[in-house]
Amino acid sequence: MSDQIQLVEMGPRDGLQNEKTPVSVEARIAFVEALVAAGLNTVEVGAFVSPKAIPQMASSDQVLRGVSHIKGAEFHVLVPNEKGYDAARAAGAEVVSVFAAASEGFSRANINCSVAESIERFKPVLARAKADGVKVRGYISCVLGCPFDGEIKPKAVADLAVTLWDLGCYEISLGDTIGVGTPLKAKEMLRAVGSELPIGNLAMHFHDTYGQALANLYAGMEEGVRVIDAAAGGLGGCPYAPGATGNVATEDVVYMLEGMGVKTGIDMDRLLAATSEIAGLLGRPPVSRVASALNAKRRRLGNS
């Protein structure tokens, strides 16, 4: 457990994509700058998807260009197809992400095609990325349950992960999109995938709908996974997963890890400031338990 843990910050993309209040390009750039200043050096900053489908991700090209001056950080963007890849590359993308679902029901609801068809769509992206020297991260949605198909078999997740790996993804992020997983199920799924792929190339992307995300992450760490996706303030959710809440809050993950003696290199004060700023723009408090507790503590101390 003393091994280094890599945090991948999802707030500017996965966090904002399901928020009803639009956030300007300037504010999204400032959010990324604040997150990097807090020590989060790997940040997914946008998605090159249809603005009609997900308007919150409109102008992701401007966001990517707007953060290009930041040194020492790696910025990821989501691309669904070659058109998105073209736009991402034109904006300077050096790392892109593709996504597939472990369930047919979610795939059809999300991108209106079967799992097999979704893979065919991004095969050209992976081929071109390889030729261009661009890294590709692969996401798998609904690894621990689907809002349409119910329970997902670990073998289905493992088979899809192998497909993405064989196509050239350097890392596979395993997403509990609707947050229904529990620790033993998370372990079972990770063991199934880890029996096929190097555990060091897997990441956990767990949403916190039922309050199980931290427990599931701990279970995954016991299995040897060392990459964790999180979103500042617990922002977001999924537009195609009814009732799903946001990704596990970065503050909560950092608090857990630091409490376990795992050094994250994250400045909690700066992270809280970034979270408070974006929460203010969204007009609601952060979902993060740690942010709520520490902000309340500071208010009490300020009033004493």
98, 160, 152, 93: which is closest to 125 by C-alpha? 98
Buried b (16+ CB within 10 A) or exposed e, 83-103: ebbebbbebebbbbbbbbbbb
Per DSSP, the three-state class of 9 is strand
Longest dimension (CA), the chain: 61
Name the CA radius of gyration of the chain, rounded: 18
Which residue of the set 142, 146, 169, 238 is catalytic? 238
DSSP string, 57-113: GTTHHHHHHHTTT--S-EEEEE--SHHHHHHHHHTT-SEEEEEEESSHHHHHHHHSS
How far is 259 from 63, CA to CA, in rounded Å? Answer: 34
How far is 78 from 60, CA to CA, in rounded Å? Answer: 10
Q: Is 238 a catalytic residue?
A: yes
User: Active-site residues: which are they?
Assistant: 238
